[in-house]
Structures are given as structure tokens and as C-alpha cells.
Amino acid sequence: MSSVIIDLYKKLPKESFELLIHNLSVREYLKDIWRYYELTGNLEYLKEFDGIFEELFRFFFRPFEIVMFNERVIRSIIPIQEILFGREIVDAYTDFLESLISHMRLTFQLFSEPISSPKLPVDKFLDDWRDLLKKFEVGGGILLRDYPFALPENAKNYLLDCFSYWKDFVESYESYKKLIRNTYNRAVEKLLELSRSPGFGSFEKFMESFQDALSGEFDSLLRSEEYLELQGKLMNTLFDHIYCLRRFLELLIENNPASPFATVSQIDEAYKRILDLKRKVSELENRIEKLEVEICSRKSEK
């Protein structure tokens, strides 16, 4: 069996394969529910309904899973903190920053009384900055934690926006999950009502009733203003988060004179110019062709 499964994983489109194996699990759950119904003549909310939800409704979360997966891949390809930590220039900058802070602290102490005054602005900022990073679970990164002044001009704003969009996304995502789950629960509730009267008669009829109950609830959900608004919010915050994260990473690369890499935005600009040139060439070719036809017809007239 296992080699067949692997062969199918290799052979089928990945969505098709995934849908098949999830549906095989769903069928098992449905059979278990049916057996219970046949034995007891009664249907109640069984744990198998949770299993069906987990198997099927992950597709509603798939776009977000893909994005999160991709982000993790990027983080593993570009371990920013580790790369920059070992660099001499960053070490030198650390020394400079520390001496600056120490110098400012001393200067401040000289000119202000009493000595137990509130923290220096730099310290205060660094504390706040670290708190913010902790909030967004960006712990352990030496670059982000200790070198906020080393970030290129716009990078800091992209980074902050990236965190902020992520926070909004997570909030909307929770509401979205709840909405999908409640809709599913309502459909199951309908099915349970049907089981009391008039009942199902056969496994096929039970399956059909289950699908009908789900279709009814999900059809209205997918057109509801609540769903559309939430889906829109999820997409906007997610894509804005991706964009800001990418721009942040790109700016680190673009502003690093030692970087041997071109960024996607720079390559995009080149693609755009090439396409514009292609259009111009094609327009010129058309004009030349028309002129040649015109010249030929004039010649033949003569």
C-alpha cells in the first residue's frame, strides 16, 4: 500500500493527490459515524466530525499555509542574524554604538542632576525597540535586537510595517477560523436534526444529506458580507506583510556594497524595460513593413 501511495504522490497533481487522501480519511470517519447511527438509531456530535473538519477545511487555510511555509524557507535561506553577527564591520559598529551610548550617558550625567535621572533617550529607545521585537517574537536576532541604527533608511519602516501587518493578519485569521468552524458546526447540527426525522435509510443517503447540509451553509457563507470582508482583510494584511518583508530584505541587500546579489525588484525593473523595448521594436517593425508596402505600391504605380 505504501509504495502505491508514494507512486501516486509522484504521479498525480499535488492538489489532486492531497484531495484524494483526505477524502479517504473522510470516508473512514463517515463510515464510523454511520456505524454508530446504525447501532444506536441515533446521531450525536461525535469526535469523527472534528476529524472531518480537520481533513477537509485545511484547504480554506492553504493559501496562508503556503505563505507561511515560503516565509520560513526565506528565513532559512537568509539567516540574517547569523550572517551579520560574525562580520567585522558589524562588530566595529557594535563597538562604536556602545562607546557612543557610554559617551552620551557620561555627558548626560555631567550635565544633569540628580544622577538617578530617567534613562537616556537612546537607552529608552533600545528598550522599547527590544520590547517591540519581543512582541513580534523576533527574539535572538542580534541585528534586529541590537542594531536598529544600522538598518538602511527605509528598511526600518518596512520592518515595522511588516510586524504590524502580521499582527493584523493573525487577528483576522483567528476570526476567519472561527467563522469557518461555526459554519461547519451549523451544518453538522442540521445533519443531526435530519437524523432524528426522517432519518437516512442508507449510507449513500446519509452521505448525500451531509453534503447537502454543508453546501447549504457554505454557499451562504461564501457570499456573506462578513466572509467577504474578512477574506479581503486577510489577503490584504498577508500580502502587505509579504511585500514589506521582501522590501526589508531587499533593502538590506541593495544597501550593502559588498552584496553580490541583485534583488527581485531590481530584476523586475530590468524585465519591465526589456518588455517596453520589445513593444517599441515590434511597433517599429510594423511601421517599416507598412512603409515597404507603400513604397512597393508606389513603384508599381510608376
Least distance CB 82 / other proteins (angstroms): 26
Closer residue to other proteins in complex, CB, 42/220: 220
Closer residue to other proteins in complex, CB, 241/252: 241
Least distance CB 187 / other proteins (angstroms): 9
Instruction: Answer yes or no: are the C-beta atoms of 249 and 78 closer than 8 Å.
Output: yes
Cis peptide before 198 (omega within 30 of 0): yes
Least distance CB 74 / other proteins (angstroms): 13
Whole-number Å distance between alpha carbons of 57 and 36: 23
Least distance CB 142 / other proteins (angstroms): 28
Least distance CB 77 / other proteins (angstroms): 17
Whole-number Å distance between alpha carbons of 150 and 293: 63
C-alpha cell at 197: 426525522
- A 10 A CB-CB count for 125 gives 13
Closer residue to other proteins in complex, CB, 27/72: 27
Least distance CB 290 / other proteins (angstroms): 12
Which of helix, strand or coil describes residue 195? Answer: helix
Secondary element (H or E) of residue 298: helix 264-301
Closer residue to other proteins in complex, CB, 41/232: 232
CA count, 13 A, side-chain hemisphere, 82: 5
Dmax (CA) for the chain in angstroms is: 103
The gap between the terminal CA atoms of the chain, to the nearest Å, is 82
- Amino acid identity of residue 299, one-letter, is K
Closer residue to other proteins in complex, CB, 133/230: 230
CA torsion, ordered 183, 185, 191, 194, to nearest 10 deg: -100
Closer residue to other proteins in complex, CB, 151/180: 180
Transcribe 245-293 into DSSP letters: HHHHHHHHHHT-TT-----HHHHHHHHHHHHHHHHHHHHHHHHHHHHHH
Closer residue to other proteins in complex, CB, 106/296: 296
Least distance CB 8 / other proteins (angstroms): 6
Least distance CB 115 / other proteins (angstroms): 50
Site residues (CB under 8 A) for other proteins?
1, 4-5, 7-8, 11-16, 19-20, 22-24, 26-27, 56, 59-60, 62-63, 66, 207, 211, 214-215, 218-219, 222-223, 228-229, 231-232, 235-236, 239-240, 242-243, 246, 264, 267-268, 271-272, 274-276, 278-279, 282
Which of helix, strand or coil describes residue 157? Answer: helix
Closer residue to other proteins in complex, CB, 59/125: 59
Whole-number Å distance between alpha carbons of 60 and 176: 9
